[in-house]
Structure 1
Amino acid sequence: MAYLNASKGKAREGRQTAAVANAAAATAAAAAGATPTKAEYDALLADVNALRTKLNALLAAMRTSGQLAP
């Protein structure tokens, strides 16, 4: 188990992940009726894609700093 390896732990000690900016405010709102409109769906899809991009950036930064396995 890599996390029990003392030398690997010392190599990561004190290292920080590069900053990743916070996700922007959501643009989607609650659907106006029982069935969402195309615009409402597109807004939700844009928010999900933006969060996916942020999560991938955070994971990449953690891998680069050695806090997450490649």
Structure 2
Amino acid sequence: MAYLNPGAGAAREGRQGAAVADAAAATSVDAAGANPTKAEFDALRADYLALRTTVNALLAALRAGGQIASS
């Protein structure tokens, strides 16, 4: 649906930005004991970094599409 800009009288069409892949499934598991092992910590960190990359890609797509301002 077009948006009419009353000041300029021009129609602004919505446009889709680049696709961003869904976040991957979590690979970390609950800690087996009271304290997590290095492997459990590393798996959680890898999940965090993958999710951070996805969020940053979404923000970049929103900026490129003009939906949010650049910082």
Q: TM-score category by the smaller chain?
A: 0.7 to 0.9
Higher-RCO chain (CA-CA 8 Å, sequence separation at least 6) = 1
* Counterpart residue type for residue 49 of structure 1: L
- Give TM-score, length-normalised by structure 2: 0.79
Aligned length: 62
In the TM superposition, structure 1's runs of 4+ consecutive aligned residues that sit over 3 Å from their partners are: none
Q: Decide which structure has greater helix share.
A: 1
Larger Rg belongs to: 2
Unaligned 5+ runs, structure 1: 1-5
Q: CA RMSD in A?
A: 1.5
- Give TM-score, length-normalised by structure 1: 0.80
Identity within the alignment, %: 66
Unaligned 5+ runs, structure 2: none
